[in-house]
Structure 1
Amino acid sequence: MIQLHDKHFVPFISAQDIGAALERMAKEAEADLDGEVPVFIGVLNGAFMVVSDFVKHYTKPCEISFVKLASYEGTESTGAVKQLIGLSQSLEGRTVVVIEDIVDTGHTVAELVKMFKAQKVKQLKIATLFFKPEAYTQNIALDYIGFEIPNKFIVGYGLDYDGLGRNLPEVYQLHS
């Protein structure tokens, strides 16, 4: 068990299982995107580790960029997505794969889909390491999913609790 601020967390998903899921997701994307040079868009801050390890397993040409959005305060999703940092390149006519650390309500995914459709991308795919189907409120297909998990708060591997825990190589779940 670990403690971050005032909360305790228990081990949930190992670093080895995370690595295997990311390798599988990258190979699925590689097969789907044959002949394309995709732009992988990581959603900061949480997805920095996911993007890094995902692209290590993607062996074909690709580009990498990042956007930063926020919808969390503490352990609760606020429901409102605020764009903080946008893209500096044109994506018109390009294949884009958004890489998320976690998708729960889907508000961020919906905002990203809206942003990239406005950019007139050729094809848009969504990849997420963690997906909470119980919390998902959108009607947007997710193309690559590492793990389907219960609707409980997690930290580690890029995910934080009020700034702490992003550096953990494995994932911990809030202790109830």
Structure 2
Amino acid sequence: MITQDIQEILLSEDQIAERCRELAAQIQADYLARGSIPVVVGLLKGSVPFMAELMKRFTMPVEVAFMKVSSYQGTKSVGDVRIDMDMDLSTVDRDVLLVEDIVDTGRTLKAVKQMFRNKGAQGVQVVALLDKPDRRVVDIEADYVGFEVPNEFVVGFGLDYNQRYRNLPYIGILKPEVYEQGE
């Protein structure tokens, strides 16, 4: 039973759904004001539940793409950002909305944003479900943030530990004994 591994629930399913409604409304208003149809790019795998929750709230047209990038091994960011799967469409002269599960060190986000600029994107904005500013090692911020969270190991709603816990409908703090035994 995976819930026995959770120390505390930080954000409930209802809190997440409500915040996603608010974020979607704000993002849509901003893009419509600019007259832009964004390419919504989910960073696999963690962004999937968040991206699905956001996108079902949009009434504006969007294009959807996915990328897989990695910089973590277990609980540690190794600092080496790798693109494991690139997108299958061009973003030249397009606005990109990157969907990220969490902004932690900021390394992945900075590298991916730079990659889109190098590929000719007109603009790159970021929406993150969670922000953990206490862990930031590079100077970068998301344009839209769902929730700020403390410097704890959080899982659920797409976030994982060794590919587990992504399916939890809430965000919870993982008990340290769960991940300390794997290090």
Does the 8 Å contact 1:19/1:53 carry over to 2?
yes
1:53 and 1:94 map into 2 onto residues whose CA distance is 23
Aligned partner letter, 2:166: R
After superposing the two structures, state which structure 1 stretch, 58-67 or 70-79, moved more: 70-79
2:23 matched residue in structure 1: 25
TM-score, scaled relative to structure 2: 0.90
SS in 2 for 1:25: helix
**Cα distance in 2 between the residues matched to 1:106 and 1:140:** 6
Q: Tell me the residue number matched to 1:11.
A: 9
For 1:119, the equivalent position in structure 2 comes to 119
Q: Is the 2:103–2:142 contact (alpha carbons within 8 Å) kept by the matching residues of 1?
A: no
TM-superposed CA distance for 1:163, in Å, is 1.2
- Provide the residue aligned with 2:49 in structure 1: 49
CA distance in 2, matches of 1:130, 1:31: 21
Question: How do 1:119-158 residues align onto structure 2 when only pairs under 5 Å count?
Answer: 119-158=119-158
Question: Structure 1 residues 112, 64: CA separation in 2 closer, same or farther (over 3 Å shift)?
Answer: same
- CA shift at 1:9, angstroms? 3.4
SS in 1 for 2:127: strand
Q: Is the 8 A contact 2:103 2:109 kept in 1?
A: yes
Q: Structure 1 runs of 4+ off > 2 angstroms?
A: 1-4, 137-141
In the alignment, the residues of structure 1 paired with residue 69 and residue 89 of structure 2 have an alpha-carbon distance, to the nearest angstrom, of 17
Higher helix share: 2
Q: Which residue of 1 aligns with 2:160?
A: 160
* Post-superposition CA distance 1:136-162 (Å, at most 9, x none): 122233110000111111111011111
How far 1:113 moved relative to its partner?
Answer: 1.0
Amino acid at match of 1:74: G
Deviation at 1:64, TM superposition (A): 0.8
For each residue in 1:86-136, what CA deviation from the matched residue of structure 2 results, as whole angstroms up to 9, or x when unmatched?
011110010100000001000110111111001111111011000001111
Q: Which residue in 1 is equivalent to 2:92?
A: 92
Q: Which residue of 1 aligns with 2:179?
A: none
CA distance in 2: counterparts of 1:147 and 1:141, whole angstroms: 13
1-structure distance, mates of 2:131, 2:121: 24
State the Cα distance separating 1:3 from its structure 2 match. 4.0
d(CA) in 2 for partners of 1:66 and 1:87? 6
Could you say which residue in structure 2 is the equivalent of 1:169? 169
CA deviations 1:17-51 (Å, max 9, x no partner) are: 11111111111111111121100000001001111
**Structure-1 separation of matches of 2:100 and 2:150:** 17
User: Aligned letter for 1:9?
Assistant: Q
3-state SS of 2:49 partner: helix
Q: Percent identity?
A: 35
